[in-house]
Amino acid sequence: MKFLRELFQKNFSTLLTMFLLVAVPLLGSASLLGLLYEKQELLHHLSAGQVALYFVIIAFTMAFALTPTTFVAIVTGYYFGWAGLPGMVLAYALAAAIGYELAQRLDHGKLRHFLHLFPKAEAVLGELQHQSWQLILLTRLSPVLPFALMTFVLAIVGVPRKRFLAASVLGMLPRSLFFYWLGTKASDVLALLRDPDEGTLSKIVLVGLVAASLFGLYVVFNRALQKVLRRGTANNA
């Protein structure tokens, strides 16, 4: 209880931001779904400059948790086809970079400083940093872990910037390619956005991605915890 009380007292702004990064995508996607319903033909008639602006805009909406990445992948696949895939990947990279910088500026290292009071928790976090490549890949693989929230969490725990950006894009590709493919095959993008996991194949792929992500994260966290415990036992011996 003391840990939780101090955690909230000393990191309230950081925790509030994390809560908003979970709640805002739900509101943002609902609003954009309504806008898309009213202006379905809007994205069919864009100039090259407007297409570039579209990818910049979606990068910011993903970074600030205004749109879920699955929403973006489906819409982009539907309206732009496979020609739009490079733009979407670049938008993911830009969104990750913006989110990382935002987290660094909002947190200012407060959470890491707080963990100095709890040596075991700090030691586990240090071990996770050594396995940050796998950690990032696995968090990005799951379609149920919010993109903006995971960006914020990984940034404030101290994952190196370049590794974070590279692993984020690579980890996003499996699920993003699947949803992008669904978008290219859709006859009604609004129906697909309302129920993106309809169909047996979709359910199998989604369950597989979530299971692989959760199992991998369990292995990574357990390995880090066991290393810390063994080190503590050796020091006490």
What's the gap between Cα 134 and its chain centre?
Answer: 14
Q: Report pLDDT digits (tens) over 48-64.
A: 888 898 899 889 888 88
Q: Give the residue from 173, 94, 113 showing the smallest Cα distance to 141.
A: 173
Cα separation of 20 and 43, whole Å? Answer: 29
Q: What is the pTM of this model?
A: 0.77
- Which residues in 85-99 are b (16+ Cβ under 10 Å) and which e? bebbbebbbbbbbbb
Cα separation of 15 and 74, whole Å? Answer: 30
**What pLDDT is stored for residue 170 in this prediction?**
92
**What pLDDT is stored for residue 63 in this prediction?**
86
Task: Tell me the residue range of the domain where 170 lies.
Answer: 2-236
Q: Give the residue from 145, 152, 141 showing the smallest Cα distance to 205.
A: 141
Task: For residue 182, give Cα distances in angstroms to 142, 144, 191.
Answer: 17, 17, 12
Ranges of residues in the chain with a pLDDT under 50 are 1-4, 6-12, 15-16
Cα separation of 224 and 53, whole Å? Answer: 42
**What pLDDT is stored for residue 27 in this prediction?**
52
Question: Nearest 5°: phi and psi at 142?
Answer: -75, 130
Three-class SS of residue 84?
Answer: helix
Number of residues assigned to the chain: 237
Tally of structural domains, the chain? 1
What's the gap between Cα 231 and its chain centre?
Answer: 32
**What pLDDT is stored for residue 121 in this prediction?**
65
| Residues sharing a CB contact under 8 Å with residue 122, sequence separation 6 or more, in sequence order | 112, 115, 116
**What pLDDT is stored for residue 205 in this prediction?**
84
For 131, what's the count of Cα atoms within 13 Å in the CB-facing half-sphere? 20
Q: Report pLDDT digits (tens) over 118-163.
A: 666 667 677 777 788 888 899 898 887 888 878 888 887 778 888 8
The encoded tokens of residue 36 equal 């898309």
Task: For residue 22, give Cα distances in angstroms to 43, 49, 70, 211.
Answer: 27, 32, 14, 21
**What pLDDT is stored for residue 135 in this prediction?**
87
